[in-house]
Structure 1
């Protein structure tokens, strides 16, 4: 019984740790979308044509999804984290069936 309790506690700590990583990755993604609004509020229209062009390109690049990559697989987000939780729960219910 003690080994099972320790295993569950260890698994919970690992999930919390994984959740922290995914939370920060999700924050990076959300802040990257806010970057366009922050750039637009600057008085870029009073600058030189080259600066206007660079700001335009930068704003176009910021509209793409930016985030932390999981190898070559996907970008870390809450959707992926909850998918991992659902898969782990399904696996554990399958293993613990009697």
Structure 2
């Protein structure tokens, strides 16, 4: 990861996971440590809004916040469609 590491290890691990799936991490901004951005930028992604999620610097429960961030990556419509297409191609 380029830039500063997140102070909470659970969230930092999730950010590495997101980067492994080609998501971009933006550090800084107002009221948040940063944001995670979907790599696909497709219209059907999240009903027309691109997948962008805030990363909190000091969440009340870092484990829950890390799981929520991971769900955003895993449940991205475009990501899921591509993964399903890859699975169908392998069969």
TM-score by length of 1: 0.27
Q: Which has the larger radius of gyration?
A: 1
Higher RCO, Cα 8 Å, sep 6+: 1
Structure with the higher helix share, 1 or 2: 1
